[in-house]
Amino acid sequence: MSSSSAAIRNKLERLRESIRRYDYAYYVLDDPDVPDAEYDRALRELQALEEQYPDLVAPDSPTQRVGIRPETEFREVRHLVPMLSLDNAFSDTELSDFDRRVRDKLQRAGVVTEEVEYVAEPKLDGAAVSLIYEKGVLACGATRGDGRQGEDITHNLRTIAAVPLRLRGRTPPVRLEVRGEVFMPKAGFEEYNRGALKRGDKAFVNPRNAAAGSLRQLDARLTARRPLDVFFYGLGFCEGMSVPKSQREILGLLYELGFKTCPEWKVTVGFLGCLAYYDNIRVKREKLPYEIDGVVYKVNSGHLQDILGSVSRAPRWAIAHKFPAQEELTVIRNIEFQVGRTGALTPVARLAPVFVGGVTVSNATLHNMDEITRKDVRIGDTVIVRRAGDVIPEVVKVVVARRPPRARRVRLPKACPVCGSDVIRAEAEAVARCVGGLYCAAQRKEAILHFASRKAMDIEGVGKKLVDQLVEQDLVKNPADLYELTQSQLEGLERMGEKSAVNIVSALENSKETTLPRFLYALGIREVGEATALALAEHFASLDELMSAGEDDLTTVPDVGPIVAAHVRAFFQERHNQDVIMELLNHGVHWPREQPTSASANAILAGKTFVLTGALESLTRDEAKERLIALGAKVTGSVSKSTDVVVAGENPGSKLDKARELGIETWDEARLLSTLPRGT
C-alpha cells in the first residue's frame, strides 16, 4: 500500500469515527456535543472522499446507513417507508451545484430539460412525525427516530387540533402514511413561557426544543396543555388510492383529505426561481408566525423523482437550503480535557457565556488536538462561535487581532487528568486515549452509564448522579457489580430514600431479562453500536461462539469490517472482560436464543443468501436489503460458495467478478424489482 493510499484510508477512518461519536451523542444520549454545521462539514467531507475513492467505501461507513436509533421510553414503531433526511446547501453555489446534478442525471437518463420545476416551502424548525391512517382513521403516529423506526407518540399527536382523527372524503385510502412537522408557534411559545414563569416552572429555551419535548411526554394531558401545531408535506405510503404524480398534487391531496399544509409553498422553475423564493422567504422570516431555518426544494415531478432516486441517507431530488448559522463573539477562558468511555480525551473550551441562537452557551468541544492546532486556538483568545440548532456551539475561527499577549497554547496532557495513567495517541489517529481502562474513574463511570442506558440494559434510575456516587465510594468497579448492590447500600447514598432504593433494586432485577443484541451493545465494545450488535447476534448461534470467533470469522458478518472485527476480538480476548461477562451471567442475566430475521419458511426467498453490490437506481441498498429479508432471504456483505444470488447495480466491482468465478447466479436491478412485490 502506498503512503498516499494509507493516508486516505486513515483520513476516512478518522472522519467515520468522528461522525459515529456525533451520532451517538445526538441520537442515543439525546445530548448533542457539536452543532449541525460541524456534523455537516464532517459528513460532506467523508461523502466527497468516498465519491473520489469508491473502492474505499466501507460497509460500516456512516454514509451507508441512515443512522443510529434514538433513546426512547416509548414503544418502537417501524415506518412503512424509511423517512430519509435531506442533504444541505449552505450557499448559492451549493444550491446551483444541486440543480446542475439533477439536470445532469436526468440528461444521462434520456430526459432533456433546460430547467427543472421544483416545489419550494419553508423548512420548519420543529419535530418530524409520521402518521398512519387505516381506512381513514388515525391508527398510529411516530417520531422520525433513526429514519427506519421511531417512537410511538399517537397519544400525544391526537391532542393537536390540526391532526385529523378521521380523513375527509367518502372513500379514504385503505392505508395511508403521511409526513409532517410539529412545531410550536412563536406566540404560543411566548405565552406558554410567561405562564410557566408565573407558575414557577422551567421555561422552554426555544420553540424547537418546546415541540420536541412536548411530543416526548408519557402523559398526554401535559402535551394537550401546550400550543402545538403541525404542517404536512408528504406521503410515505399509500394503498387503495392512486398516488399523485407530482409534489404539487400531493400537497393538494393532503389538503383535500384534511391535512394542514404550509401556506407559503410555491412552484418555482430552475435555480434562479429557487433563489428568488429563498430571498423572499428570508425577508419574511421574522414576520412568519413560526420558526424556520431555511427552505426545502423538491423536484415537482414524481416520475423525475423516481429517475433521480436516493442514496442511503437522502433523496437525490430534494435539498434543504439553510439560512446562515447564527454567530457571536466570546472569549475562551480555559480548555480542559474530558475522558470518555473508551478513554478518548476530548478538549473542551470553557467560554465566557454568550447568547447564541436562543441559547446561552458556555462550552464548545474542540474535538481533538488536530482541531486545536489547525485553528490555532489558545486560552484567552476571542473566537467566533456558531450555533445552528444545537446546544454546544462550533468554534469557527480565532480573531487573531484580539489575541492578548499572554494567550496560552494548549498541550495534550501526558497523564490522564482523572486517574494519572499514561495518555497515548496511536500513529495516524486523531484521538488520544487514557490507557487506564476501568482503573480510570471517568471511564468506569461512562462504561457503567452506557451499560445501564435505555438502549442497553435499560436499568431505570441508574443515572449520572447515582453512578458518580457508586464509583467514588468504590461500591461499583465494573458493570457486574451493579447486581450486587443492596437496598441498604443504596439508602446510604445522598438523596436516596427507601422508595428510590427499592425501585432501583427492582429495575436491576428486571434488567436481567434482556436480548443478546442489547447485552452486546451494553458491553461497550469499541465501534459496536446497536446495528453491529444486532448483526453479530443474528450471525452467531451463541455468545460462546461469538467470544471464540477469530477476526476472519467476524468479517463474514454483514457490515463488520476488519477494524471492527479487531476491536471485537481484542475485547473478548481480554481476561478482565471475560470475568465481567461470567459474573453477569452468574448474576442471572439471560436472553432467549436469537430467532432468524427472515419472515418464515414459506417466504418466497426463504433460505436464499443474497449479496448486493454496486449502486441501485430505484432504491437504496438498505431498502433492497430490508425487502429481501422481508421475503425470507439472508443478505450478507461478502461473496462465498454459500451465496445464492448476487444483485449487481452500477459499478459493481470485485464482488461481481468473484460471483462469476464461482458460478453464482447474478441479477441486474430489473430482475430484482420484478421479484420484489410492490409495497414490500
CB 85 within 8 A of CB 314: yes
User: Which of 341, 348, 532, 531 has its CA nearest to residue 441?
Assistant: 341
Mean pLDDT of 622-650: 79
**Per-residue pLDDT tens over the stretch 46-77:** 888 888 888 887 755 667 533 334 334 578 88
Mean pLDDT of 623-638: 75
Mean pLDDT of 38-43: 80
Instruction: List the grid coordinates of 115.
Output: 430547467
The model's confidence at residue 29, banded by pLDDT at 50, 70 and 90, is very low
Q: What angle, 0 to 180 degrees and rounded to 10, lies between the N-to-C axes of helices 270-284 and 92-108?
A: 150
Lowest average pLDDT, out of 57-66, 200-209, 322-331, 411-420, goes to 57-66
Mean pLDDT of 411-415: 93
Check whether 629 has a pLDDT greater than 80.
Answer: no
One CATH from 2.60.120.380, 3.30.460.10, 3.40.50.1220, 2.40.50.140 for 326-402:
2.40.50.140
User: Of 105, 123, 298, 464, which one is the catalytic site residue?
Assistant: 123
Beta-carbon neighbour count of residue 403 at 10 Å?
14
% pLDDT > 70, the chain: 91
pLDDT greater at residue 574 or residue 236: 236
The model's confidence at residue 677, banded by pLDDT at 50, 70 and 90, is low
CATH architecture of 77-322: 2-Layer Sandwich (3.30)
**Per-residue pLDDT tens over the stretch 531-567:** 788 889 888 878 999 999 999 889 988 768 888 898 8
Which neighbouring-strand residues pair with 609? 634
- Specify the pLDDT at position 596: 44
- Domain coordinates of the chain in residue numbers? 3-64, 77-322, 326-402, 437-511, 516-586, 609-675
Instruction: List the grid coordinates of 649.
Output: 447495480
**Per-residue pLDDT tens over the stretch 346-385:** 999 999 998 886 678 899 988 888 889 989 999 999 998 8
Quote the CA–CA distance of 9 and 427 in Å, as a whole number. Answer: 13
Task: Give the ranges where 596-668 is alpha helix by DSSP (H).
Answer: 621-630, 654-662
User: Which of 547, 483, 485, 546 has its CA nearest to residue 513?
Assistant: 483
Residues contacting 232, CB < 8 A, separation 6+: 178, 179, 180, 254, 259, 260, 261
Q: Do domains 437-511 and 609-675 have the same CATH topology?
A: no
Mean pLDDT of 384-397: 72
Could you identify the residue written with the cell 416520475? 303
**Per-residue pLDDT tens over the stretch 253-266:** 998 888 989 999 99
User: Which of 573, 580, 546 has its CA nearest to residue 560?
Assistant: 546
Residue range 3-64 in CATH 1.10.287.610: yes
% pLDDT > 90, the chain: 39
Check whether 601 has a pLDDT greater than 50.
Answer: no
Whole-Å CA distances, 58 to 39, 302, 555, 637: 19, 32, 12, 10
Answer yes or no: 123 catalytic. yes
Mean pLDDT of 232-256: 91
The model's confidence at residue 20, banded by pLDDT at 50, 70 and 90, is low
Beta-carbon neighbour count of residue 401 at 10 Å?
6
For the four alpha carbons of 291, 294, 300 and 306, in that order, the dihedral sign comes to: negative
CATH class of 516-586: mainly alpha
CATH number belonging to domain 437-511 = 1.10.150.20
Instruction: List the grid coordinates of 147.
Output: 429514519
Mean pLDDT of 130-155: 89
User: Which of 318, 322, 314, 295 has its CA nearest to residue 35?
Assistant: 322
**Per-residue pLDDT tens over the stretch 558-595:** 768 888 898 899 888 878 888 889 999 999 999 987 55
Check whether 632 has a pLDDT greater than 80.
Answer: no
- Specify the pLDDT at position 286: 82
Residues contacting 372, CB < 8 A, separation 6+: 335, 347, 366, 410
- Specify the pLDDT at position 325: 66
Fold of domain 609-675: Rossmann fold (3.40.50)
- Mean pLDDT (the chain, rounded): 85
Mean pLDDT of 288-303: 94
- Specify the pLDDT at position 66: 34
Mean pLDDT of 281-297: 91
The model's confidence at residue 160, banded by pLDDT at 50, 70 and 90, is confident
> Which of 393-397, 432-436, 459-463, 648-652 has maximum average pLDDT?
459-463
